[in-house]
Amino acid sequence: MEVKHLSGFALTAPQGDRAALRKAAEGFEEMLLTQFLKAARSAPLAEDMTGGAGVDQFRAMFDSEIARASAGRTGFGIADAVERQFGRYVKDR
């Protein structure tokens, strides 16, 4: 597949690589969920009694792990939508 745009730049991907498309779609969903959790944690709902740099770091790692484990396996459907959108550009082998 070759997509040409942006002043002649070409993006090329292997033909028929559905698995790579699915992995990229799940990666996008993971990134989006991570940003969602990060934004939710930044909302000042109450004063944190156990706060600190260490706690914040572990919360960020925990949120990333939740997003990684949830991507493509939950009812969010973001990965499915991305795969449907770009699946027409990937030919089956």
φ, ψ of residue 40 to 5 degrees: the values are: -65, -40
The pLDDT of residue 90 is 82
Q: Which pLDDT value is given to residue 45? A: 65
pLDDT at 56: 77
Question: What pTM does this model have?
Answer: 0.64
Per-residue pLDDT of the chain (93 residues; tens, 9 = 90+): 444 444 444 445 555 588 889 889 989 988 998 898 888 877 776 566 666 777 778 888 888 888 888 877 767 788 889 989 998 888 765
50-87 CB burial, b ≥16 within 10 A, e <16: eeeeeeeeeeeeebbeebbebbbeeeeebbeebbeeee
